[in-house]
Chain A
């Protein structure tokens, strides 16, 4: 029987499931709270309407994620003729992983980075910056591409967008309720009840804060999962490890001007575009470099174990 060297990381999976569950519960709680609030002010239907509106925004973000990302990064799609090695590498990785080949884009940016996005494996794009093409060796680049393809295979865009639905609806409400304050929404019809907009604002801000932290934790787990799957795909954890060290080192050296440009696209970048490595990066979207190196080292040990 085929022996497998794939050691599932149960701890990572269980923690990830817990966080996804919490985010789902948060969304339900938000809608429930809204219905309660609006019911008191006569009009529970409005809350459901807002919930659906929010979901519409969430759906659009997920549906057009590849176009939006490519435009945000001013990336252009390259054909196999334009970038034969890059396409050749991705072809082989997709054959090894038995997954559809995504479109390939190149963004003309000095930061050495790569990202993958798209609503599903059949409709996704993997994009690299010219900075990374100049920094990494072919093998290191392949390690990074395997990491990005794992994001696609894990449908991380879908997971992260759905997971952020509570946050998105809350964000909409928070900004929406501000207008409520100006449009005289502060009549008090039942004795000393707080004005409607204030209650809605409070609920949304609390929800937004909770979802913000949970999303960051989930994003870190997805990165660790993508590292793991990528390492098993190329069978060369070392390649991704040295790529990460190079990118993070280079990242810190690059002047701030470029870093701010990439702020919005941070979630799926291979390495955090923030400086400094410390335990306090609670709000970091990526596990610390050392955490990732330790996991890759463990996988390397597992792959390297002599036969039974």
Chain B
């Protein structure tokens, strides 16, 4: 936000940066070959439901769009303890690009109605044969990815070693979030 804008106190909401999601399918292949992590077939978009009828109507249209498609994915909407909404999509684990197209449809659907600033992140979970899970999280406002690997068993601990591994493996392929303080912890996110 420009210095002048901030001085005049008219900070405009930050628009989301949507296109990087299509890098995920190739990243999925790299994760599989290097770390043995495979997509779980889940994917979700996290956003802040705006007050008023406008938003619920927009969200309804987006859900309808997803569900009416020919090979429609399973779609589920839930909200978390912070009051953010998670729109979760589930497809066959092999169809990552189809999944990303669905997530993109949600993003553009919300953005077209002016709710771009409400988008927080997208999440594509991966798992390895031993059951460890890591989510590839995309931050709309920063246009960057980062890994989030909760330790199994409820305690809010992160498997930082696995996260660093994932970051280094994908560093060449995706814009990875350098600033570790921005690696938002999303406990209880769907699919993790």
Direct touching of A and B (C-beta under 8 Å): yes
Interface residues of A (CB under 8 A from B): 2-6, 8-9, 12-13, 16-17, 20, 84-85, 88-89, 91-92, 95-98, 100-101, 138-139, 142, 150, 153-156, 158-159, 221-222, 225-226, 229, 232-238, 300-301, 303-308
Give the Cβ gap from B185 to chain A, nearest Cβ, in Å.
Answer: 7
List 20 additional contacts besides A4-B12, A95-B121, A229-B9; criterion CB under 8 Å: A2-B112, A2-B114, A3-B111, A4-B13, A8-B10, A9-B10, A12-B9, A88-B185, A95-B139, A96-B118, A101-B181, A158-B7, A235-B49, A235-B51, A238-B51, A300-B51, A303-B50, A304-B54, A304-B55, A305-B52
Give the Cβ gap from B156 to chain A, nearest Cβ, in Å.
Answer: 8
B117:A226 contact, CB within 8 angstroms: no
The answer to the question of B70 belonging to the interface, with a C-beta cut-off of 8 Å to chain A, is: no
Chain A residue contacts of B49, Cβ below 8 A: 235
Closest B residue, CB atoms, query A307: B113
Instruction: Please list the 8 inter-chain residue pairs (A to B) with the smallest Cβ-Cβ separation, ordered nearest first.
Output: A304-B52, A225-B9, A235-B50, A5-B114, A98-B141, A3-B114, A154-B9, A98-B14
| Contacts between the two chains (Cβ within 8 Å), count | 138
B184:A155 contact, CB within 8 angstroms: no
Chain B residue contacts of A221, Cβ below 8 A: 9
Closest B residue, CB atoms, query A224: B9
Closest A residue, CB atoms, query B83: A139
Give the Cβ gap from B108 to chain A, nearest Cβ, in Å.
Answer: 9
A238 to B61, CA, bound (A): 24
The answer to the question of B84 belonging to the interface, with a C-beta cut-off of 8 Å to chain A, is: yes
B6:A96 contact, CB within 8 angstroms: no
Q: Number of B residues whose C-beta is below 8 Å from A?
A: 45
A237:B51 contact, CB within 8 angstroms: yes
A235 to B121, CA, bound (A): 16
Contact of B117 among A16, A89, A232, A306 (CB under 8 A): A232
Chain A residue contacts of B48, Cβ below 8 A: 96, 234-236
Could you list 27 A-B pairs, sorted by A, with CB under 8 Å? A2-B111, A3-B114, A4-B116, A5-B114, A6-B13, A8-B10, A9-B10, A13-B10, A16-B9, A92-B184, A97-B14, A101-B181, A138-B83, A155-B6, A159-B7, A232-B117, A235-B49, A236-B51, A303-B52, A304-B53, A304-B54, A304-B55, A305-B54, A307-B54, A307-B57, A307-B61, A307-B113
A96-B120, A234-B48 as given contacts; A3 in contact with B113, CB under 8 Å: yes
Give the Cβ gap from B145 to chain A, nearest Cβ, in Å.
Answer: 13
Contact of B82 among A89, A158, A159, A303 (CB under 8 A): A89
Chain A residue contacts of B141, Cβ below 8 A: 95-98
* Chain B residues numbered 1-34 whose CB sits less than 8 Å from any CB in chain A: 1, 6-16
Give the Cβ gap from A299 to chain B, nearest Cβ, in Å.
Answer: 9
A95 to B120, CA, bound (A): 7
A225:B111 contact, CB within 8 angstroms: no
A308 to B115, CA, bound (A): 13
Interface secondary structure of B, over-half rule: loop
Give the Cβ gap from B120 to chain A, nearest Cβ, in Å.
Answer: 6
A307 to B141, CA, bound (A): 23
B51:A150 contact, CB within 8 angstroms: no
Chain A residue contacts of B10, Cβ below 8 A: 8-9, 12-13, 225, 229
B11:A154 contact, CB within 8 angstroms: yes
Interface secondary structure of A, over-half rule: helix
A95-B120, A235-B50 as given contacts; A88 in contact with B82, CB under 8 Å: yes
Closest B residue, CB atoms, query A101: B181
A3-B113, A96-B48, A238-B51 as given contacts; A153 in contact with B182, CB under 8 Å: no
Closest B residue, CB atoms, query A138: B83
Give the Cβ gap from B59 to chain A, nearest Cβ, in Å.
Answer: 11
Chain B residue contacts of A236, Cβ below 8 A: 48, 50-51
B8:A142 contact, CB within 8 angstroms: no
The answer to the question of B142 belonging to the interface, with a C-beta cut-off of 8 Å to chain A, is: yes
Chain A residue contacts of B82, Cβ below 8 A: 88-89, 92, 138, 142
Closest B residue, CB atoms, query A234: B48
Give the Cβ gap from A213 to chain B, nearest Cβ, in Å.
Answer: 19
Closest A residue, CB atoms, query B121: A95
The answer to the question of B151 belonging to the interface, with a C-beta cut-off of 8 Å to chain A, is: no
B51:A2 contact, CB within 8 angstroms: no
A307 to B112, CA, bound (A): 9
Chain A residue contacts of B115, Cβ below 8 A: 5, 235
A159 to B6, CA, bound (A): 10
Chain B residue contacts of A237, Cβ below 8 A: 51
The answer to the question of B97 belonging to the interface, with a C-beta cut-off of 8 Å to chain A, is: no
Chain B residue contacts of A225, Cβ below 8 A: 9-10
A195 to B48, CA, bound (A): 65
